[in-house]
Amino acid sequence: MARGPDGKGGGAGFSLADQLFNADSLADLAGEFAVLPGFDRDRFLAECVPGLAGRGLLERLEWMADCLEAQLPSGFGPMAEALEAALPPALDPALKDDDFGRFIHAVHGILIVRHGMEDPDRALDLLHAVTRRFSMEFYIRPFLNRWPERTLAQLHDWARDDNYHVRRLVSEGTRPRLPWARNIEIDPAVPLAFLDVLHADPTRYVTRSVANHMNDLSKVMPDEVVARLAGWQAEGRQEAGEMAWITRHALRTAVKRGERPALDLLGYRVGDVTATLDILTPQVKIGEALRFAVEIVADQALPVLVDYRLRFARPGGSAEKVFKLKAGKVAPRRAARFEKRHVLKGDATTYRLHPGAHGIVVQVNGTDVAEGSFDLLPAEG
């Protein structure tokens, strides 16, 4: 489940902020900084731990940085030396994925941005060191805005770095729509030169970032994204299975929008398809499951991507949301039947349900092929 910067989500009573930043994790952070001469571990904990209460995830990081800064040297040069000396061991460079590091080390990035903006050479060197412990994707972005040419030149070199965490930073830090992060002012097409290198990376941690970056770009330059992906496929520098995964993941939003060039690149061509939609629960209460079945017949063997759009009733009109149903193949003139059970949650965090007539539209390979309606009733009680 996606969680916002307040750190909430994951069910009633769950707090990601509490899970990540608490007395134990701050004790670990204090232990790392205790290597610095004069750093008072007990003072840091006595000041910082009580101040966590009432603060969200990002606010806690800023607070932790405040408490650390109070005991660090003034001036960015001495502070940078102290931050470097307090770094924990680097993450294992032999791994391929799922080694994100610990959020407590984001405080290094906060302090670098606060104090290092006028010394980009030293600041970028320090970001290079820190990102091998925890991704500095948030904290490279202010330097892209303040020192674009200097920072882009550094990222050009980092795209070929020996450490995959550094290589991922190049893609992730330049994403045009990085969640929670500040906007960057560079032309969104500029980082494509980095992705030309990074799409062939041997680590999924990097290629996932490339795919997410391309998915962001598909919302503003869809034709360029499709052309670039086709070019990468033709180059053959990435293993075929991984390149296919990158392409699917990069085009997921374009596919939901039914964009023909994206569907064609994925092999989901238009064919002579007929479909029938059978709504098995024409009346559904909020909190219960809508059940329906789709039967598809094609005139030829065809890979199919079957999606459905729910058309939600709203007080001021309607709104639609796309959901995945099935990806597979159909044989010529042989009916393929797919069934779905979709729970209409009354407590969904992304949209609110309203009783009334709702619609469902089935699309195959980006083309609408069948539609129907059902009545959504109020929840019991």
β-pairing, 367-377 with 283-285? parallel
> Going by DSSP bridges, is the β-strand pair 356-364/302-314 parallel, antiparallel, or unpaired?
antiparallel
Query: In the structure encoding, which two tokens stand for residue 141, read together?
Result: 């972005």
Output the CA–CA distances (angstroms, integers) from residue 41 to 24, 30, 37, 242, in the order listed.
Answer: 13, 5, 11, 46
List CB contacts of 323: < 8 A, sequence separation 6 or more: 307, 308, 309, 310, 342
pLDDT at 2 over 50: no
pLDDT digits (tens, 9 = 90+) for 239-297: 999 999 999 999 999 998 889 999 999 999 877 889 999 999 999 999 999 999 999 99
Q: Where in the chain is the domain with CATH 2.60.40.10?
A: 273-377
Any idea which residue has 């995959």 for tokens?
164
CATH code for the structural domain at 273-377: 2.60.40.10
Q: What is the pLDDT of residue 92?
A: 87
| Cβ(99)–Cβ(59) below 8 Å | no
Calculate what percentage of the chain has a pLDDT beyond 90. 81
- The whole-number pLDDT of residue 46 equals 97
- pLDDT by residue (tens digit) across 300-348? 888 999 999 999 988 888 889 999 999 888 999 999 999 999 999 877 6
Rounded Cα distance between 231 and 191, Å, is 16
What are the angstrom distances between the C-alpha of 76 and each of 33, 128, 325?
17, 16, 54
User: What are 25's two structure tokens?
Assistant: 């994790």
Round to whole Å and give the CA distance between 377 and 381: 12
Residue 199, H or E segment: none
* Segments of the chain assigned to CATH 1.25.40.290: 72-265
Q: At what angle do helices 204-217 and 240-250 cross, to 10 degrees?
A: 40
> Does residue 86 have a pLDDT over 50?
yes
Q: How many residues does the chain have?
A: 381
Phi, psi of 285 (to 5 degrees): -90, 150
- Top-confidence residue, 256 or 137: 137
Q: Tell me what pLDDT residue 1 has.
A: 28
Whether 3 shows a pLDDT value over 50: the answer reads no
* CATH class of the region 72-265: mainly alpha
The CA distances from residue 218 to 2, 153, 315, in Å, are 21, 25, 31
Q: Mention every residue, 6+ apart, whose C-beta is less than 8 A from residue 43.
A: 71
Tell me the angle at which helices 148-158 and 164-173 cross, rounded to the nearest 10 degrees.
140
Which pLDDT value is given to residue 165?
Answer: 96
